[in-house]
Chains A and B, each alone.
Chain A
């Protein structure tokens, strides 16, 4: 069963605009939610995380929002840059979603 779901396989945005990647989960017992970024032919690398007791965490251009009542989290990237183009994985502890491919157009 998929405990973490990313329903949008792809997203395309213009450079300088905001990118919003979404994630839903079913397991209320996750301690942390994490976002990883993956470039082709490389392993995923950690980007940002949020504790289950928080509702927002910010790190530079990246902000993660957690809505526990809706079992939903989102990653905001502002402003988006072409170098942000990658596959983004949402994870609850060690359970991952299917990923969303973000393309930032110059």
Chain B
């Protein structure tokens, strides 16, 4: 298996622009998570899905952030409009309900820079 795939790996945009981050989870995994890593807060859980349904989005910082999972193979995290404080590394992770110990498998991350 190719593991969790994220695109793009790097994104540089200007303040006010729309940004879309993409994630393909491991086939057969029924949980998908979006995290943001910053120096101040470490790895922050933004939202997670179970069987394509959003379960907990309490970590989404503002209405500018939205996430979708139209099918089991694809999820997006959108920021509109983007702001400089959104600059961070965004990780997608997935796991199977049957995974012992709640182990998650992470993608390589998308480094977002908002100028």
Contacts and interface: CB of A to CB of B under 8 A. Distances in A.
Interface of A: 2, 6, 31-32, 34, 36, 41-46, 49, 51, 89, 91, 93-99
Given A6-B42, A96-B43, A98-B42, A34 B101 contact: yes
Contacts of A44: 43, 91, 106
B50 to A, nearest CB: 11
B45 to A, nearest CB: 6
A96 B108 contact: no
Contacts of A6: 42
A94 to B, nearest CB: 6
Contacts of B17: none
B104 A97 contact: no
A70 B48 CA distance: 29
A99 B105 CA distance: 17
B93 interface: yes
Interface centre among A43, A94, A96, by most B CB within 10 Å?
A43
Shortest beta-carbon contacts, A-B, top 10: A98-B42, A43-B106, A96-B43, A49-B101, A32-B102, A46-B103, A32-B101, A44-B106, A99-B42, A43-B108
B107 interface: yes
